[in-house]
Amino acid sequence: MPPPETDAEATERLARWNRTRDALMRAEVLDCEDGLGVPVAEVAALRSLAHETVPVLCRYGSGPEPDGAAGLLRVLDGGFGLALWRRPDGRRADAVCTEFHRRAADTVTEAGTAGRLPHRIHELRRGVRAARTETYWSDGVALFWDDPHHPLPGSGQLLEAP
C-alpha cells in the first residue's frame, strides 16, 4: 500500500488537474527517446514539468523491463491526473514510436483541455474499429483519468486491468 499523500502533494495534484482543465495541454513523452526505451525520470524531475503537461508513455509494459510499472507509479507520484500510454500488444512489437509520439502529442493539443480528451480518445477508438488508416497509431492507447474533484470510492489503491 502506498504511503498516504501529504497535504503538499494533494495541493500539487489539484493544481495540476485544474491547470489541465483550464489551460491548453501539451504532451510529454517520458519513457522513449529516438525509439529507445528510457526510464521515466524520478518524481522530483517530473514535478518540475509544467502543470499543463500530459505524460505520454510509449514503452509502458512493452517488455520484461521492471521499470515499466515503476515509471507509471512515478508519474502518479508526480501529481499527474492525466496520462496516455500505449498498451502492449505482441502484434505491434515493432510499432514506430515516432508516429505514436507525434500523433499522441497532436491528440492532446487538439483536445485542448482535460474535459475534451476522453471524447477525443473515444473518437480514435471508433476510427480504429472502422479501420480508418489515420487512427491506426492509436490502437491500444489508454487514458489514465484521476479527477481529484470526483474521486472513485474505495481504498485509494491503484487498480490493475485484468
CA atoms within 13 A on the CB side of 60: 25
Q: Which of 12, 160, 145, 142 is nearest to 77 (CA)?
A: 12
Which residues, including other chains, have CB under 8 Å from residue 141's CB and lie 6 or more apart?
84, 85, 86, 87, 104, 121, 124
Q: Which of 15, 31, 13, 11 is nearest to 23 (CA)?
A: 15
* pTM given for the model: 0.85
- pLDDT classification of 64: cutoffs 50, 70, 90: low
Condensed to tens digits (0 to 9), the pLDDT of residues 125-155 reads 999 999 999 999 999 899 999 988 887 666 5
Segments making up each domain of the chain, as ranges: 7-145
Alpha helices, DSSP H, located in 78-111 = 97-111
Condensed to tens digits (0 to 9), the pLDDT of residues 73-102 reads 899 999 999 999 988 665 555 567 899 999
What do you get for the CA distance between the two ends of the chain, in Å?
19
CB-count exposure of residue 100 (10 Å: 0-12, 13-18, 19+): buried
If you average pLDDT over residues 25-32, what whole number do you get? Answer: 95
- pLDDT classification of 162: cutoffs 50, 70, 90: very low
Q: Are 83 and 46 in contact (CB under 8 A)?
A: no
